[in-house]
Structure 1
Amino acid sequence: MDSNSRYKVTPELVFEIKLHGILLWASVGLLMPAAILVKRMSNREESGKRLRIIFYIHAITQVVSVLLASAAAVMSLKYFDNSFNNDHQRIGLAFYVIMWLQALAGICRPHRGSKSRNIWFIFHWLVGIVVSLLGVINIYTGLEAYHKRSSKNVRIWTILFTVQVSLTLSVYLLQEKWPYIRKQGAILGNKPVQPTSDREMIPTSQHKETTSEHC
């Protein structure tokens, strides 16, 4: 999406730009975060059957997200100027390369218990973070590029996407503390633990001795 004047903005081009953006949002803004949140559900899951279900949901969601992002990349190559003279195109190129690297890493994962499993896990985790960050940043730069190209106001879409990102991060952080919150009796109808006063902490026998001394 370059602002070069030789690329005239037509209704057809605007449609292609919008479709390109929707595909990327569905991939990076919706399915990839959903896949991450689903996978984190397995951290404290002990049932083998549920673990398999969670894994397949995670894998299928990631595959669909990669396919949607790839379709958006094909549209970019076919319909847009790819001079790579702006941040959106440069970040997008890095995103696509690292995204496919992450996908290949997921396909070639070693079996549990193997010596290379720990190295693979750290690599998969770090690359996943990079892909997620690049994808989110590229959506913001894409909205800005669309605004410059079409002169249309994208503020509402920027705000809505920011709200979505904030909610996703909140759920991500809440997943880590959810078991702790449950133990505190703050949810599921459990009564909160009441603090005990110093008077209540005095043993019964000690209380009787104190009473006798006063008598």
Structure 2
Amino acid sequence: MKHVTFFFYAIFILQNTCLIVQAQNTEQCNTIINFNDDVLFDTTAMFCQTVWSNKDYILRYAQAGSELWSFLLSAPNTNSWLGIGFSTTGQMVGSSAMVGWIYQNGTAIVKQYYLQAKDPDEVTPDAGELNVKMNATTVFTRSNRLYLAFQINTSQPRKQLLYAVGQYNRLPAASDGLKLLQHREQDSASLDYTTGQSETRSIPYTTIKRTHGALNMIGWGILIPIGAIAGRYFRQWDPIWFYSHAIIQIFAFVFGLVGFILGLVVEGFINAEITHHKNLGILILILGCLQVMAVLIRPKKGTKPRKYWNWYHHNAGRILIILAISNIFYGIHLGMEGSRWYSTYAVILALMLILAIVLEIRLCRQT
């Protein structure tokens, strides 16, 4: 009995200790904090707004003069870079961003970047449209949070703000020209500097974008190859192989069609330049439609047209699969979703390829 009592007492202490630690590491706008020892400008009278609640991003700002604005952005420290962008359209491309990070040796870096395109190679350091005040930028840590402070000379900052966080334990390297690595996650919102109201607009876009990618990946990139495998290697189980092949491909087409429609929604939402990705998607959808229509006009076995029909059906399916896989990886690149999407789909492809090779060897031995 004493051991049981001690066990529950230990759990109680552990829970309360975790709550205390969490409370110490959680910052709120109503928390009174003096930053003047760390920041190179006055922070005593700044507006405060939680701008990205899912990531615990807090933005403090103030008009320090007729042509001068002060900003202080904070987020949990994950050994990543912390960034805030100023945009005229709400989009990343064409915006200027302030980014800061701290190396393991304690060296702190704050730089402005100009985001010419989504490709990391087109994100230029020491460039941008922000008139940053000299000797007024700093980045520091406190209570397991990372703070980025800077001032810009302007009569009115841009209202469309972008927020981003870098990948875990991967900071820009001096040997690589401090090139900004791909962000882990991002968000955007419009900020009314007078009222302090922040309106997030990227949550539905991000959800739709990822749903578009997931549906296309499942439909065109996973189910279509699985259906092809069923159609080629399991013909000894007639007619089960045919119905399995047909049902899988129908589900794949439905997933791909819905994913394509969501892609059009995303394009309209962000006004993105994704011509090649879109054109490939249209071509894949056309091939998918032709494959579905081909089933409806399938000639009888043993007839001469059936030979040409088989040639068309098989080769059109192979082209569809190759284009779909290529466009999925291209879409992951455009969406800047990071290595998890790449690696997950790559592993699935590798497993399907290994299965296909094994079944192909078995088929060759049987014949």
Displacement of 1:67 in angstroms is 0.7
Confirm or deny that 1:143 pairs with 2:319.
Answer: no
* Aligned positions of 1:103-182 closer than 5 A: 103-147=292-336, 152=337, 154-178=338-362
Displacement of 1:156 in angstroms is 2.2
Q: Which residue of 2 aligns with 1:77?
A: 264
1-structure distance, mates of 2:321, 2:248: 14
- Gap change, CA 1:121 and 1:7, over 3 Å in 2: farther
Is 2:230–2:241's contact at 8 Å kept on the other side of the alignment? yes
**Equivalent position amino acid for 2:298 in 1:** R
Is 1:39–1:58's contact at 8 Å kept on the other side of the alignment? yes
1-structure distance, mates of 2:346, 2:333: 14
Q: Which residue of 2 aligns with 1:18?
A: 210
2-structure distance, mates of 1:85, 1:38: 34
- Gap change, CA 1:5 and 1:22, over 3 Å in 2: farther
* Cα offsets for 1:64-120 (capped at 9, x unmatched): 110111111121223423776432112111111111112211222111112200000
Is 1:35–1:59's contact at 8 Å kept on the other side of the alignment? yes
| Structure ranking higher in strand proportion | 2
Is 1:87–1:141's contact at 8 Å kept on the other side of the alignment? no
* Number of matched pairs: 170
* Between 62-71 and 30-39, the greater mean CA deviation after superposition: 30-39
2-structure distance, mates of 1:5, 1:158: 31
Is 1:95–1:135's contact at 8 Å kept on the other side of the alignment? yes
| Equivalent residue in structure 2 for 1:39, among 231, 234, 242 | 231
Displacement of 1:180 in angstroms is 6.2
Higher relative contact order (CA 8 A, sep 6+): 1
Is 2:233–2:360's contact at 8 Å kept on the other side of the alignment? no
- Give the RMSD, CA atoms, in angstroms: 2.4
1-structure distance, mates of 2:288, 2:357: 24
Displacement of 1:15 in angstroms is 0.3
- Gap change, CA 1:94 and 1:7, over 3 Å in 2: farther
Q: Which residue of 1 aligns with 2:239?
A: 52
1-structure distance, mates of 2:227, 2:353: 13
1-structure distance, mates of 2:305, 2:365: 35
**Equivalent position amino acid for 1:103 in 2:** V
Q: Which residue of 1 aligns with 2:251?
A: 64
Is 1:84–1:90's contact at 8 Å kept on the other side of the alignment? no
2-structure distance, mates of 1:99, 1:5: 39
The percentage of aligned residue pairs carrying the same residue is 22
Displacement of 1:41 in angstroms is 2.6
* Cα offsets for 1:16-53 (capped at 9, x unmatched): 0011011111102221111111112334x1xxxx3111
2-structure distance, mates of 1:5, 1:102: 44
TM-score (norm 1): 0.71
**Equivalent position amino acid for 1:25 in 2:** M
- Gap change, CA 1:117 and 1:73, over 3 Å in 2: same
2-structure distance, mates of 1:88, 1:73: 11
Q: Which residue of 1 aligns with 2:122?
A: none
| Structure ranking higher in helix proportion | 1
Question: SS state of the match for residue 116, structure 1?
Answer: helix
Q: Which residue of 1 aligns with 2:138?
A: none
